[in-house]
Chain A
Amino acid sequence: MNLHPSPEIRHAAWNIWQNPIFRRYCQSRLRPRGIGITLIIVLLLAGFITAITSSFGLRGTLTASDTARIGAIVLLVFQCLILFILGTAQVAGGMTAERDEGVIDYQRLIPMSPLAKVVGYLFGLPVREYVLFLATLPFTAWSLWKGGVSHTVWLPLYGTLVSSTLLYHFTGLLTGTVAKNRRWAFLASIGLVFCLYTVIPRLADFGLVFFKYLTIAPVFSESLPGMLPATAGAVVSAKQQLLPTAKFFNLDFSEVVFTLFSQGGLILTFIVMLCRKWRRTESHLLGKAWAAGFFIWIQLLLLGNALPLINPGTLFPSRGFTRMTGILPDWAPKPGEAVLMSGLYGLASLLLMLILTSMITPTTDTQLRGWRRARKLEKSSLPTLGDASTSFWMMLAMALAGAAGWFVFSRALVESHWFPGHQLGHKAAIGFTLLMLAIGTAYQSLLESKGGRAITLAAIFIGVVPLMIGAVLSVISNNLISTAYWVCGLSPATMPFYASGTLLPISDLPESAQATIPNAFHFWLVLTLLLAISLLSRLWSTRKKISLQIPTT
């Protein structure tokens, strides 16, 4: 056997048809025996949908064109199920199966770039679902043609369908890469897609408008008038004209462009995460600079989408409610509603900051490895943006950015024409900043010095248990409500709401809470700050000890 090494061949990431991982899955997932029955079922269902909707046109009041349009909408839902649910589950489950079986180590060793591997898995694992989707397209094409739907309607819609599919499949791929077992990966990915269509869009109803652009829904709504039967479409179109939707700092993007822009940013971030994991299993999901940049980008998206909707009033949840009940003319937002929205913004920023901090905080092992490498390269310190260096500085940057975003949002609410005569001063800015810094520092220092277990225990006993105790106390007796407010105030989940309730001049707290909530907020904030300082000093000494464990060469 001769031992000449194989010639060096790079598999270009863009050349999907030559990607060995993609071809491997085409081979295994497109065998006639495997795909045959599923394909027949999908063709039957698509054919049935087309036939039954067309049949209504033959005897009912609707025209053939109208019924074909209805068929196209139902087919779209069917296609979404195939791609979003089945495809995502397949990607997440397939990736975890590779790890469960152990064959992923072979793939780690093959000389392909991380991006080529990601692309191979992204399109390879759900290749059967792509074929099933393609099989339904002739029926869609017929329905669109028969319904006379303009390409300016269906093209953006299907463009967003593709980008949403990619986004969800990337979510599945990441879940599969990170989750420890197959069942969890499957459930987590389905759960994520479910949340994307149920929970997350609801956040848009409470001021966090950006989240709705992670779904196909805005483009679907925009395209709906052109897809519905002519009369219904006209009604929907007229209704939409009544609802001014300013988008992203009034730059007036179309829904498609903005959805693609928002999803594209997330897809790019997922690609970075996956490539890092393929390059080194031990790598953090995100680099420090990317995590901080991502946080700031999300802040911009949240603000850019929310601010232009404050003065027209469309940002307020009660506006949506009154729109449905038809009592629009007398509508005005209540101060409490604005305070809650400000608190929710603070909570969302805080949560995102903590999640990103978790991703970039090094474990003791990572720090030891970092020091080993630094010693080898004869460096006296760790690289600032390396995985092994502390995440404190990036947490600090995110805390400041988060506090700034929160303040800008709250000020826009308070100083809007809905609440004349009110201004939000520097006290609120300082309060928001201290809160973000205190919780962020305590979390980061505890995580970096004591590890994930300590954080989980802290989340249970500081984050959740006070809320449970507070809820029980408030139910026992009205006399205990004040105590309940105090106990609940300990949880970082309530602190942003307490902060907004205390610091926003429009706040109209109930009588029982008027004295308690500001006192509780200030007390717990000071205590959290002291705890954060103490944990930070411990973190510094822990890091010092770790650095001394690796001898200088």
Chain B
Amino acid sequence: MSHTPPAIDIRSLRVDYGNFVAVDDLTLSVPPGEVFGLVGPNGAGKTSTFRVLTTLMEPTYGEVLLAGIDVLEDVENARRIIGYMPDLAPVPYDLKVAEFLEFHAAAYGIGNKAARRDRVAECLEEVALTDQRDKWCKELSRGQTQRVVLAKTLLHRPRVLILDEPASGLDPLARRDLRNALRRLAANGATVFVSSHILSELAEMCTSLCVMNRGKLLASGTAEQVRQILGSTERTITATLLNRHEEARAWLASQPAVHDPVADAPTVTFRFLGDDNAQADLMEGLFHLGIRIRSFEEKRSSFEDILVEVAESNRA
């Protein structure tokens, strides 16, 4: 049975800048074909992690393998399969869009002149910038620049795409296009590792994600799993009752997963920390007490709330 190595395999990664620890003991594995998100506030260690992954920086210690290639030992081969788009992706000011892309196509050894031109056209179409091919790079807007660099990143058909904050500066339409493009790439077998400091943005476009703060990995998995790991299964429940409000409040207060129940007829509001089964049991208990429930509404914390909470708790 053949064993496919993870597309990205990070083991005990640590990056120091003098006495400052930018990435601390990061271990992570991403299977091929995933759109994997890395989220964290500024200074979380995202860019340092990406620079190590892309061979641009040597870590203090730890191991990084991309599709089984050790990026610290086999730099040349690792670089062939990487497509990297840095944060605030720069472009040269003295070239036109097509010239910039054709230069990179040539550097990556893409066929002859005609083949390069075709490939450039294909990538420009992918990022919806075909009409800008003869424009100077310096004349592009921030969003257009991001897209041109994304096109450059796609030129050599990399197996692992590493995109640092690719959605910053993009309008909603361009974000949707980016999301679709990344999904298409993943469907074709590429692995996309993408960072953002906006969790909801990543939750939309990624199959799984992880959260980092102050160099440490806090949680990893699907968006829902991350929400649970970060202790944010808490929800606020508002039950609208037709009778016995005070009795219901007293009973709820005796339940272990319920906190701070407040009765304000016709509703009783409380914080609940149990899982879905426990929530169903709760409804059943109220029913057995003879309480008539008209509605049962729950409100969860948003991804942004979770991230702010994480960042603030670490700061504290």
B16–A110 contact, CB under 8 A?
no
Q: How far is the CB of B309 from chain A (nearest CB, A)?
A: 33
A3–B188 contact, CB under 8 A?
yes
Given known A-B contacts A5-B81, A105-B86, A368 and B16 have beta carbons under 8 A apart: yes
B104–A6 contact, CB under 8 A?
no
CA separation between A105 and B159, bound complex, in Å? Answer: 19
Q: How far is the CB of B46 from chain A (nearest CB, A)?
A: 16
Enumerate chain A residues within 8 angstroms of B81, measured Cβ to Cβ. Answer: 5
A109–B79 contact, CB under 8 A?
yes
- Chain B, Cβ-Cβ closest to A366: B58
A103–B90 contact, CB under 8 A?
yes
CA separation between A553 and B196, bound complex, in Å? Answer: 34
A376 interfacial contact with B, CB 8 Å? yes
CA separation between A484 and B84, bound complex, in Å? Answer: 61
B90–A102 contact, CB under 8 A?
yes
B60–A365 contact, CB under 8 A?
yes
B152–A3 contact, CB under 8 A?
no
B108–A110 contact, CB under 8 A?
yes
Given known A-B contacts A27-B99, A28-B95, A372 and B109 have beta carbons under 8 A apart: no
Enumerate chain A residues within 8 angstroms of B56, measured Cβ to Cβ. Answer: 105, 108-109, 281
A20–B106 contact, CB under 8 A?
yes
B57 interfacial contact with A, CB 8 Å? yes
Given known A-B contacts A5-B80, A24-B95, A282 and B63 have beta carbons under 8 A apart: no
Tell me the residues in window 464-498 of chain A with beta carbons closer than 8 Å to chain B beta carbons: none
B75 interfacial contact with A, CB 8 Å? yes
Given known A-B contacts A23-B103, A550-B61, A365 and B18 have beta carbons under 8 A apart: yes
B189 interfacial contact with A, CB 8 Å? yes
CA separation between A23 and B55, bound complex, in Å? Answer: 25
Annotate B102-124 by CB proximity to A: 1 below 8 A, 0 otherwise. Answer: 01101111100000000000100
A372–B60 contact, CB under 8 A?
yes
B184–A376 contact, CB under 8 A?
no
Q: How far is the CB of B109 from chain A (nearest CB, A)?
A: 3
Q: How far is the CB of B120 from chain A (nearest CB, A)?
A: 13
CA separation between A108 and B122, bound complex, in Å? Answer: 24
B76 interfacial contact with A, CB 8 Å? yes
Interface size class of A (residues with CB under 8 A): 35 or more
- Interface SS majority for chain A: helix
CA separation between A354 and B304, bound complex, in Å? Answer: 54
CA separation between A28 and B81, bound complex, in Å? Answer: 28
Q: How far is the CB of B63 from chain A (nearest CB, A)?
A: 7
B92 interfacial contact with A, CB 8 Å? yes
Tell me the residues in window 38-95 of chain B with beta carbons closer than 8 Å to chain A beta carbons: 54-63, 72, 75-76, 79-82, 84, 86, 88, 90-95
**Total A-B Cβ pairs within 8 A:** 115
A106–B80 contact, CB under 8 A?
no
CA separation between A433 and B188, bound complex, in Å? Answer: 67
A6–B107 contact, CB under 8 A?
no
B156 interfacial contact with A, CB 8 Å? yes
CA separation between A112 and B190, bound complex, in Å? Answer: 23
A544 interfacial contact with B, CB 8 Å? no
B185 interfacial contact with A, CB 8 Å? yes
A202 interfacial contact with B, CB 8 Å? no
A106–B152 contact, CB under 8 A?
yes
Enumerate chain B residues within 8 angstroms of A105, measured Cβ to Cβ. Answer: 54, 56, 84, 86
CA separation between A21 and B104, bound complex, in Å? Answer: 9
A101 interfacial contact with B, CB 8 Å? yes
B107–A3 contact, CB under 8 A?
no
B157 interfacial contact with A, CB 8 Å? yes
Q: How far is the CB of B79 from chain A (nearest CB, A)?
A: 5
Enumerate chain B residues within 8 angstroms of A112, measured Cβ to Cβ. Answer: 107
Q: Which of the 9-residue segments A7-15, A51-59, A183-191, A295-303 touches chain B? A: A7-15
Q: Which residues of B pack against A, CB within 8 Å?
A: 16, 18, 54-63, 72, 75-76, 79-82, 84, 86, 88, 90-95, 99, 103-104, 106-110, 122, 126, 152, 154, 156-159, 184-185, 188-190
19 A-B pairs within 8 Å (CB atoms) are namely: A3-B185, A3-B188, A6-B110, A9-B109, A11-B107, A20-B103, A20-B106, A20-B107, A101-B92, A102-B90, A103-B90, A105-B54, A106-B152, A110-B79, A110-B107, A112-B107, A365-B60, A368-B61, A369-B58
Q: Which residues of A pack against B, CB within 8 Å?
A: 1-9, 11, 20-21, 23-24, 27-29, 101-103, 105-112, 279-282, 364-365, 368-369, 371-373, 375-376, 550
